[in-house]
Amino acid sequence: MKTIILKLLIIIPFFLIISCDKPKDKLEQKNEYWDEIQLITRNQKIIIYNENDTASFENEIFKKVSGNYSSAIYKFEKIDKKSFSLNRNERDSLYKYTKAIITKPVFTDRASTDYAGYVLIKLRDRHTTLMCEYKSVGEWSTVSEETKNIYNLLKTKIDVAKQ
Count the Cβ atoms, other than its own, within 10 Å of residue 86: 19
Question: How far is residue 105 from each of residues 59, 126, 144, measured CA to CA in Å?
Answer: 26, 22, 9
pLDDT in tens for each of the 163 residues of the chain?
A: 666 665 656 766 666 566 655 555 544 445 678 999 999 988 999 999 999 999 999 999 888 888 887 778 888 889 999 999 999 999 999 999 999 989 988 877 666 555 567 888 999 998 899 998 887 777 777 788 998 999 999 999 998 887 6
Cα separation, 57 vs 79, in Å, equals 10
Cα separation, 152 vs 140, in Å, equals 12
Backbone φ, ψ for residue 14 (5° rounding): -60, -45
